[in-house]
Structure 1
Amino acid sequence: MRKMNFRTLILAAAAAAAFAAPAMAQTATAWEMPKKGDWLVTGRVTDVFSGADDAIVTSAGAASGLNVDVGDSIMPTLGFTYFLTDHFAVEAILGTTQHEIRAKGGSTDVAVHETWVLPPVVTLQYRPLTEGRVSPYVGAGVNYMLFYSGEDKNGFTVDLDDGFGYALQAGADIGLQGPWSLNVDVKKIWFETDASVNDGALRSDVALDPWVVSLGVSRKF
């Protein structure tokens, strides 16, 4: 429920800012659309959630009757966007999230591992508008998943492989006042990791493929 409320909040905040923008445009310090050479620095609250439900098998490939479940995480993140032209920008996001990994199946529901993930993402954005109060964008790029500070649970040992993935992005900056804007951002990341449990006695090819949904405030420089 908490996660769903956060995603609903993002939509509500975006709608409220969009309706408020025309009134703000009458002020002396009205927001101006970012242009070539500008920076946007964005502080966000970010929800990272995965629908992973991959089978856990034995070393010989036999079904164990268990599946992987990866918990959600809500954490602060930072975004840095540089405008190469009026229409194209490069964004890098920095942040880290913590996730619990469980094995589920039948009457079994047990935590096996908890890990921090550093998933830096770099995207190239296209922004079609150069005037107005709303700057929508779409983007595509790459990410790297780095697992660290893992903690094994309930007698299990778990190893996760780091690696590269790719991402698609959509979002908007909605002008507030002066250099400030509201940012709404959604990314879909495709990434698969090889999980080894108990030194390979069990294993799983886990398609994490997380959604990264964010609400934040940007400042233009």
Structure 2
Amino acid sequence: MKSLTTLALAIAALSTQQVSANDWIVRAGVTSVQPNTSSSFIAIDGTATDSKVDIGSNTQLGLTATYLVDDNWGIELLAATPFTHKIKAKGGALNGAGVGETQHLPPTLSAVYYFTNGDLRPYVGLGLNYTTFFSEDVDADLEGILGASKLTLKDSWGLAAQIGVDYNLNDRWQLNASMRYIDINTDAKITNGTNVVTADVDIDPYVYSLMVGYKF
């Protein structure tokens, strides 16, 4: 009986070591941000035009780090190299005219839930996103109308939801695919000392990722 107890304790200890050895998953791969843009009409000095704002897509290196709390729950942080987006006018007299360009980083912290514990592990997640904009530039098209100008975009806080799946190649390496929807809203302002151009923009992108992961 004593031998059986000792064996059981040894197995339990080994099991605990195996779980603790796989508490983290780090991933890297391709991430594409594809805005689902809607906006107010562009206003010049408070007077609305008949044009709105459209924001282009961009693909960069995406990174995630996930801490596994247990077999089902994890906490995930999404990061990436800076995304660069072209901003254009859509519709009306300004249709197709360049408005500007910006870079942004969208760090997102999420709770994720894994449905199974096999080699194929689908999951869902819900979290909080913070998007910071920087390196904003006014497009030459708009500067041709306004003259030298400055573009600013307000940083954004919003919810983020995701679905994804991991496929374990072995005990350490895995393939990952995921799709996110992120609530990103910003106020755009262009000034040149005389005129003020404004628009409220809901970027609300779908974010697609294909990654390779490593567990440790």
> How high is the TM-score relative to the length of structure 2?
0.80
Match status 1:172 vs 2:161: no
Q: Is the 8 A contact 1:115 1:148 kept in 2?
A: yes
Please list, as runs of the form range in 1=range in 2, the aligned pairs for 1:115-130 lying within 5 A after superposition: 115-130=102-117
Distance 1:152 1:202 in 2: 11
Distance 1:91 1:126 in 2: 10
Aligned to 2:115, what secondary structure does the other structure show? coil
Match status 1:93 vs 2:78: yes
Distance 2:186 2:152 in 1: 10
Tell me the equivalent position of 2:100. Answer: 113
Q: Is the 8 A contact 2:109 2:129 kept in 1?
A: yes
Tell me the equivalent position of 2:56. Answer: 71
Match status 1:219 vs 2:214: yes
Task: Identify the match of residue 191 of structure 2 among 198, 205, 217.
Answer: 198
Aligned to 1:129, what secondary structure does the other structure show? coil
Distance 2:36 2:184 in 1: 12
Match status 1:134 vs 2:120: yes
Task: Identify the match of residue 159 of structure 1 among 129, 148, 152.
Answer: 152
Distance 1:203 1:219 in 2: 45
Between the aligned residues of both structures, percent identity stands at: 34
Distance 2:170 2:97 in 1: 49
Aligned to 1:194, what secondary structure does the other structure show? strand
Distance change in 2, residues 1:168/1:35 (3 Å): farther
Task: Identify the match of residue 53 of structure 1 among 35, 38, 42.
Answer: 38
Distance 2:215 2:123 in 1: 16
**What's the CA shift for 1:77?**
1.1
Long gaps (5+) in structure 2: 1-17, 144-148
Q: Is the 8 A contact 1:112 1:157 kept in 2?
A: no
Distance 2:136 2:151 in 1: 8
Tell me the equivalent position of 2:14. Answer: none
Distance 2:27 2:93 in 1: 44
Q: Calculate the aligned-residue CA RMSD, in Å.
A: 1.8
Distance 1:135 1:177 in 2: 13
Tell me the equivalent position of 1:187. Answer: 180
Distance change in 2, residues 1:204/1:35 (3 Å): farther
Which structure has the larger Rg?
Answer: 2
**What's the CA shift for 1:35?**
5.0
